[in-house]
Amino acid sequence: MRKAILALTVAAFGIGTSEFVIMGLLPDLAHSFNISIPKAGVIVSAYALSVTFGSPLVAIALSKTERKRTLILLMSIFLVGNLCCAFAPNFELMIAARLLTALCHGAFFGTGAIVAANLVPKNKRAQAIATMFTGLTLANVLGVPAGTAIGHALGWRSTFLFLLPIGLIAMLGLIFLVPRQDAEPVELRHEISAVMNPKVLLVLALSTLSSVSLFTVFTYIAPMLAAETHMRENTITWVLVIFGAGITVGNLLGGRLSDWRQLATLVGGYAAVGTSLLVMGVVLPYGVPMMICVFVWGLVHFAAGAPLQARIVEKARRAPNLASTLNQGAFNLGNALGASLGGVLLGEGLHYRRLAPAGALVAFVVVLMVFWARHMDRTMMSDPDAGPPIDFVPMH
């Protein structure tokens, strides 16, 4: 089972690198296509919106397909999409290539989370899901800095070619290490009914706002550090490594805390996220304090976010595949909204230092919503739409 989760983690690493590496390359893309940085941010929004609206359709289309086969098909989309990105001749086709690449994202993490959860006992499911998502966080420690460095040295197109062997390794791991896992027979109306549960909708809202808080700042981290902290490109790369280290530690910590006390982790985590962003607005001009703040920000954000994927599986037990994929869509809707919010603030002439307080405000809204979720848990003791708990899926 550990080897199976390792294969899922490698695939998550490739997908995460593809998603986040664009942040470090944003100035290069803007220069290459002769557009402004806020307009280049549309590439981030396009990817996120494709995950949000395209991935659930992919999940529905593949809902009756055996899960291992589904994961392999989605990695094939990942490979084709990144190949198209590498050779996109203009901005419009680059957006189209990113839209294609993003189709695999939400469905893969949604299906992969269910596969990981079914590989372990119930009391370790959050940890198993968090372990798979470690690939996403390690992408920020290793994949994004390496991809950014390759892009700066050899051109941004080389970064997407660099992703192809990672995708091939991940596909081989899925083929040879992940056991077959049949999808449960479901009807679309039952899936939709389950995800319309108020508790499920609230988790989706929390996931969306969580990402708004993150991507209002993170989308523009490279130009922000260059303009306000006066960092050079190689230093910015190391800041991305520091951020990746923080989110890796935070993700693993959040998985353990979620299995212990889920809502307390959410409340304390997002309060810490808001506080760290307020501090960032103060220390932004200073190199070393800013690096420390970036590490802490990444750690507390992913520690707070780790329980959300486990919570969506828990609250939508009759529709785990669709709900888990929708949760990834919610995260990426937040990515698009956060990138757009940051772009609007910059477009209005505000300085980069205003982005962190805006992200902090959103994080504190999340804290208030978690208290509402706690109230719902106490007042809605019965959960008729959730159905029985997920049983282990037979392995073949």
Q: Look at residue 394 and tell me if it is in a domain.
A: no
Q: Look at residue 395 and tell me if it is in a domain.
A: no
Identify the CA nearest to 146 among candidates 20, 335, 12. Answer: 20
Identify the CA nearest to 212 among candidates 296, 305, 133. Answer: 305
The rounded distance, in Å, linking the Cα atoms of 181 and 313 is: 17
The rounded distance, in Å, linking the Cα atoms of 189 and 144 is: 40
Question: CA–CA distance from 275 to each of 294, 295, 358, 367 (Å)?
Answer: 12, 13, 12, 12
What single string gives the DSSP state of each residue in 235-295? HHHHHHHHHHHHHHHHHHHHHHHHHH-HHHHHHHHHHHHHHHHHHHHHHTT-HHHHHHHHH
The rounded distance, in Å, linking the Cα atoms of 390 and 385 is: 13
Helix ranges (H only) for the chain are 2-32, 37-40, 42-61, 67-86, 91-117, 125-138, 144-154, 156-177, 188-195, 198-218, 221-228, 233-260, 262-283, 287-315, 320-347, 355-379
Q: Look at residue 271 and tell me if it is in a domain.
A: yes
Q: Look at residue 389 and tell me if it is in a domain.
A: no
The rounded distance, in Å, linking the Cα atoms of 247 and 235 is: 19
Expressed as residue numbers, the domain containing 260 is 2-379
- Decide: 144 and 232 in contact? Cβ < 8 Å: no
pLDDT mean by block of 10 residues, the chain; 396 residues: 88 91 85 86 84 84 85 94 94 93 86 83 76 83 86 92 94 90 66 74 87 90 89 84 87 74 80 94 92 94 77 65 75 84 83 89 91 72 42 33
What are 102's two structure tokens?
Answer: 């993003």
Q: How many domains does the chain have?
A: 1
Residue 1 pLDDT: 73
What are 273's two structure tokens?
Answer: 């996220």
Q: Look at residue 196 and tell me if it is in a domain.
A: yes
Q: Look at residue 194 and tell me if it is in a domain.
A: yes
Which residues make beta-bridge pairs with 395?
Answer: 181
Residue 289 pLDDT: 94
Q: Look at residue 385 and tell me if it is in a domain.
A: no
Residue 297 pLDDT: 94
Q: What's the CATH number where 53 sits? A: 1.20.1250.20
Which residues make beta-bridge pairs with 181?
Answer: 395
Within 10 A of 173 (CB to CB), how many other CB atoms are there?
A: 20
The rounded distance, in Å, linking the Cα atoms of 290 and 108 is: 34
Look up the pTM and report it. 0.72
Residue 362 pLDDT: 94
Q: Look at residue 152 and tell me if it is in a domain.
A: yes
